[in-house]
């Protein structure tokens, strides 16, 4: 019985390794992203249209109704973001149309560029 269990474990292990090798060969040459939210190159600095819904200077947060944030893999929605610096929070008011760039900074989605639309 013990020999049967050892042989079964060896067969399962060999099968798993063979399947992994085949899968790796099937994907050879494919360009893979390094992170789950890495959907754009680091040089992509595209701005996304948004509308300011709320400004909270005490916390440095700005709530935006935004379009797709492709660089962080986020679909259009309304969400509060930390502003990179206080000047961004002071320059906008509720209801204003803006263009933003949101990036992950130390694990937190952060507005790194904010421009008022004319």
d(CA 83, CA 111): 5
In terms of Cα–Cα distance, which of 64, 63, 114, 55 is closest to 84? Answer: 114
> Exposure of 53 by Cβ count < 10 A (0-12 exposed, 13-18 middle, 19+ buried)?
middle
For residue range 15-73, list pLDDT tens digits in order.
554 444 444 444 444 444 444 444 444 446 799 999 999 999 999 999 999 999 999 99
Contact 79, 113 (CB under 8 A): no
CA 31 to chain centroid, in Å, comes to 18
Say what the pLDDT of residue 76 is.
97
Q: At the fourth CATH level, which superfamily is domain 48-116?
A: Copper binding periplasmic protein CusF (2.40.50.320)
Copy the structure tokens of residue 81.
């973001």
- Two tokens at 109? 């989605």
Question: What pLDDT is recorded for position 39?
Answer: 42
Query: What's the pLDDT at 1?
Result: 58
pLDDT digits (tens, 9 = 90+) for 57-97: 999 999 999 999 999 999 999 999 999 999 999 999 999 99
Whole-number Å distance between alpha carbons of 33 and 47: 21
Q: Model pTM greater than 0.85?
A: no
Strand residues in 9-60 grouped as ranges (E): 48-56
């Amino acid at each position: 019985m013990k020999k049967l269990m050892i042989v079964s474990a060896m067969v399962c292990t060999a099968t798993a390794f063979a399947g992994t090798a085949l899968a790796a060969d099937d994907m050879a040459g494919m360009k893979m992203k390094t992170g789950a939210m890495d959907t754009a190159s680091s040089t992509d600095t595209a701005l996304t249209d948004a509308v300011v819904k709320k400004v909270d200077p005490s916390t440095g947060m700005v709530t935006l109704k935004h379009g797709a944030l492709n660089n962080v893999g986020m679909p259009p929605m309304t969400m509060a973001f930390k502003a990179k610096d206080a000047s961004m929070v002071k320059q906008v008011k509720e209801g204003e149309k803006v263009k933003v760039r949101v990036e992950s900074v130390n694990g937190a989605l952060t507005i790194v560029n904010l421009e008022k639309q004319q």
